[in-house]
Structure 1
Amino acid sequence: MVILKQFGILFVLGSVGIVMFTITSIPLIEQQLAKLSPERLEKVPPLWTLMLLQGLQYSVLLAISILIGIGCAYRVGLNSHLIDHWVFHTTKSPSFAIEIKWSLGVGAAAAIVLLLLDRLMQPALPEALRAANNPEPSGLNLLTAMSYGGITEEILLRWGLMSLLVWIVWKVLKQGVTLPSQGIYQGAIVLAALVFGLLHLPATAAIVPLTTVVIIRALLLNGIAGIAFGWLFWQYSLEAAMLAHISVHAFTFVLNGLLARLV
């Protein structure tokens, strides 16, 4: 029952992002289908079937990540406030207010750094990627980024992958008696951040060829963000990483709006 409660809480949260991502990806799928020849298009399932299969695929990955995190996270000292409160019925952490400040502060700083780096790298990027990186402001796209990126991706990459990496290396190297050593956490944070960057490459490859500059940009920008989120997960909680990730998208949306008015 305890495992089922933990799974249910995180799966409901993560599913919101999957639904939003599926909805907002419909125009992109339609564009890709429009490029197919009539002969190939006849062999492709209907659009609703494609979207359902995409949603199911992400849901399976989400479920696996949640179960991995349930098995590993608390064993290595990583936690979730929601699970603490709703499953284990522990009291709210006294450092909760500080945690929120750190999350919002890290999110704001990351948004500024990523925006500056992205602007510096824009001239070296293909025109198609520059256009994709500067879409028309959309509340729906922002909500999708905040829900899928800020919640679902954090469950996949921090709760699932990072917890697993920490647990595996801890068991193999046997560094730390009751908890892993700091180096293990730091290594797992960096590895999970690199995976975070690599996972963005397939979507980029659908727009432009993966040149060296394109790959470096994806790994650098997403890697910096992933390290920040991983540090917050380690030092505070899964929700701290989620809040920072959400705030990066929110601050970036606001900053891009302000820059558009100034330019």
Structure 2
Amino acid sequence: MGTRLDRKIHPSPHRNVALFWAVAGALTALAVLPYALALNPQAAEELPLAVLVVGQPLQTFALIFLGGWLGLRLGEEIGLDSPFARSLVHGRPMPDHSRRRFGLAVALGVAAGLAILALERYVFGPLLPPAKSDLAQGAALWKGLLGALYGGIAEELLTRLVVMTGVTWALWRIAGRGRRPVPPWVYWTGIVVAGLAFGLGHLPVAAGIWQLVPIVVVRTVALNLVGAVGFGYLYWRWGLEHAMVAHFVADVVLRSVGM
């Protein structure tokens, strides 16, 4: 049994990884501000710019550090992890990987982005009410790409590492009774629940564009779920970094091709 001194000399194996991602997430929260202000110019009028520049990164840092540490700790029990960041932080050799896997992550991101665009144009677009405003109209491409960086890093950390891991672990402990190997349905449920939560989190943005009628809710949740299922699968099978790559690429497609 380790002593208190031992624990100080050998800190939690997850703390530094969580710190690494918290810093990265805070930087992307700062980088996304030009895009966020283009979507919602009133935010700069309601709060001083200095408050946004300091407050948003600090809030993101705290959420990712605390949630990420918990996600890494719980994920250790069910095989969900951030293997490349862990190796980098602890100075270990990088885990086995292949260009093919990252290539598949890129391909999945492109496919998800194009699928979302097609669904928006041909399925949901004709059913939507008149738009109150076009929030994305004033966002230059470079601002959208900064938004993609935030999506690929911060949103993946909060949605996959925190929410998906937490839901999957809870299902495994309660419904799966801690059986090993973890049943696949437990992972799939965690993937879908995290995807639904991610979609619901985009409703405030949708409410700024349309009246929040049922079709707008369905559209917002469904389109976000399209990518989330694929990203969650990559996280489960190959690690968080593959999900980040796919999410970033999907966002680049959406912001460069346009919705």
TM-score category, normalised to shorter length: 0.7 to 0.9
Pick one of 220, 223, 237 that aligns with 2:222. Answer: 220
Change (3 A) 1:222 1:129: farther
Distance 1:47 1:93 in 2: 42
Deviations 1:80-117 (A, max 9, x none): 13233124555434343222021011111111111100
Q: Deviations over 1:8-48 (max 9, x none)?
A: 211122112211223433355543576xxxxxxxxx65343
- For residues 236 and 56 of structure 1, the distance between their equivalents in structure 2, rounded to whole angstroms, comes to 30
Deviation of 1:123 after TM superposition, in Å, equals 2.9
The counterpart of 2:144, out of the listed 130, 141, 145, is 141
- Aligned residue for 2:74? 72
Q: Which residue of 2 aligns with 1:12?
A: 23
Structure 2 gaps, min length 5: 1-10
Structure 1 residues 177 and 85, CA gap change in structure 2 (3 angstroms): same
Report runs of 4+ in structure 1 exceeding 6 Å deviation. none
- Give the letter aligned to residue 20 of structure 1: A
Give the alignment's TM-score, normalised by structure 1.
0.83
How many Å separate the matches in 1 of 2:52 and 2:139? Answer: 26
1:31 correspondence with 2:31: no
What is the Cα deviation at residue 216 of structure 1? 0.7
User: Which residue in the other structure is 2:128 paired with?
Assistant: 125
Aligned-residue RMSD, C-alpha: 2.5
Q: Is the 8 A contact 2:19 2:65 kept in 1?
A: no
Change (3 A) 1:211 1:11: same
CA gap 1:91/1:19 in 2 versus in 1, 3 angstroms: same
Alignment-derived partner of residue 5 in structure 2: none
Shift of the 95–57 alpha-carbon distance from structure 1 to 2, 3 Å rule, reads closer
Query: d(CA) in 1 for partners of 2:207 and 2:141?
Result: 23
Structure 2 match to 1:41: none
Give the letter for the 1:202 counterpart. Answer: P
How far apart are the structure 2 equivalents of 1:82 and 1:129? 43
Aligned partner (choices 229, 246, 249) of residue 248 of structure 2: 246
Q: Cα distance 1:129–1:98, how it changes in 2: closer, same or farther (>3 A)? A: farther
Whether the 8 Å contact between 2:38 and 2:139 is mirrored in structure 1 is: no
Identity %: 28
Distance 2:201 2:142 in 1: 24
- Identify which of 66, 89, 102 aligns with 1:100: 102
Give runs of aligned pairs for residues 151-190 of structure 1, distance below 5 A: 151-175=153-177, 177-190=179-192
Paired residue type of 2:21: L
8 Å contact from structure 1 (residues 18, 148) kept in 2: yes
Do the aligned partners of 1:122 and 1:130 also contact (CA within 8 Å) in 2?
A: no
Q: Quick check: 2:231–2:246 contact (8 Å CA) kept in 1?
A: yes
Question: TM-score, normalised on structure 2?
Answer: 0.84
1:43-63 CA-partner distances (Å, limit 9, x unpaired): x65343355334433333222
**Candidates 57, 60, 76, aligned match of 1:58:** 60
The answer to whether the Cα contact below 8 Å between 1:106 and 1:228 also exists between their aligned partners in 2 is: yes
